[in-house]
Amino acid sequence: MHNFTFTPHEDSLIVDTGSSNTWVGANKSYAVTSTSISTQRSVGDNYNIGSFVGSEFLDDVVLAPGAIIHNMSLAVATFAEGFDGADGILGLGPTALTEDTFDNNGTETIPTITDTAFAQHIIGSKIVGISFQPSQTFFDKTGELDFGAADPAKFIDPLSYVPITSVSPSTFFVGINQSTTYGSAGTVILNNTAGVIDTGCSLLLLASDAFERYMEATNSTYDDTTGLLALPAEQFGSLESLFFTVGNTTYEWTADAQIWPRSQNSLIGGTDDNVYITIASDGTPSGTGRDFTLGLVWLERFYVVYDSANNQVGLANTQYTNSTINSQ
């Protein structure tokens, strides 16, 4: 989560590239001030973890010190469920995802925070750079959003850009095409296929058949207590990297990146005898047009740029790509 100031107070919001509405009021009341303008229009949306309904306000949003967005459209929830610990969502996905959320109007969209900042010349490009880093501290705020331009200090290799996939339904999100292999033998987990990058998802999700291939390749087993795949700790040394080929570039997701931080095993009901893998099945077979979801555990190792104006995504390795923090 990240903190954003909606005059006159801060709200802790889930950063979500899988949706595009920005809204508050899930756990803290919205304070109406002299800058608040009610449009008396209803807004609502459904998510995998919950839903909200509310009404639209126009208000000032502090994007960064000295950068204030005026009259930004945001929803104020009158009802919300599934968002314990968060005040709402900061939607960073494509503007089209706001269709069907506004007064039950199937075609009208709501400008995103990126759209509005660009329209008011606060940023020069409709770009959001997304940077996270692995941490051994639960809920540690180890991320940064770069509006308007990528931050070269956050990545170590040149950014490689690929177009948003044309495959539905991934094309409607921050979707890309990629192939996935495991280990030095190049075991195929997924052939070139479409999926999404989603900051609102904690794990890395694979189509059910790809998940089974990963389980077989790693000799991991499902752990009922944690709901994750597990390996005996002494077998961690045999866990190999996953390789994601996106465009002409292959990105290595190391064994360390694939596991839950060992120092935090007790938080998920695990034991020191196992390592727990942060890859899960999405419950559907491959071929649906959304065969993977690259969630937060993946984003902690790579820098991502979403360029909505040019309908493309940029990726690069970071100083945390090869970190061994999770296995410590």
pLDDT tens figures, 159-208: 999 999 999 999 999 999 999 999 999 999 999 999 999 999 999 999 99
CB atoms inside a 10 Å sphere around CB 188? 13
To 5 degrees, how large is the angle CA 50–CA 17–CA 227?
A: 55
Domains of the chain by start residue, with CATH: 2-123 (2.40.70.10), 155-327 (2.40.70.10)
Query: For the segment 65-121, what is each residue's pLDDT rounded down to a tens digit?
Result: 889 999 999 999 999 999 988 899 999 999 999 999 988 777 899 999 999 999 999
Distance CA 216, CA 55 (A): 49
Q: Is the pLDDT of residue 9 over 70?
A: no
Active-site residue list: 16, 198
DSSP conformation letters of 244-280: EEETTEEEEE-TGGGB--GGGGGGGT--TTEEEE-EE
CB atoms inside a 10 Å sphere around CB 5? 15
Q: Is the pLDDT of residue 39 over 60?
A: yes
Q: Is the pLDDT of residue 253 over 60?
A: yes
Candidates 43, 47, 20, 46; CA nearest to 101 is: 43
Q: Are 286 and 193 in contact (CB under 8 A)?
A: yes
pLDDT at 8: 53
Distance CA 28, CA 8 (A): 13
Whole-model pTM? 0.94
Q: What φ, ψ does residue 298 adopt, rounded to 5°?
A: -80, -40
Mean pLDDT of 133-160: 88
Strand order through the sheet with 249-253: 249-253, 242-246, 175-182, 187-197, 292-294, 204-206, 279-281
Candidates 304, 325, 326, 301; CA nearest to 314 is: 304
Q: Is the pLDDT of residue 137 over 80?
A: no
Q: What φ, ψ does residue 230 adopt, rounded to 5°?
A: -135, 150
Which of 10-19, 20-29, 277-286 is predicted most confidently? Answer: 277-286
Mean pLDDT of 132-146: 80
pLDDT band at 139 (very low <50, low <70, confident <90, very high): low
Distance CA 52, CA 43 (A): 8
Query: For the segment 277-286, what is each residue's pLDDT rounded down to a tens digit?
Result: 999 999 999 9
To 5 degrees, how large is the angle CA 298–CA 301–CA 221?
A: 45
**In percent, how much of the chain has pLDDT > 70?**
96
Q: Is the pLDDT of residue 222 over 50?
A: yes
Query: Is 137 or 72 the better-scoring residue by pLDDT?
Result: 72
Distance CA 200, CA 223 (A): 24
If you average pLDDT over every residue of the chain, what do you get?
A: 94
Q: Is the pLDDT of residue 7 over 80?
A: no
Q: Are 145 and 174 in contact (CB under 8 A)?
A: no
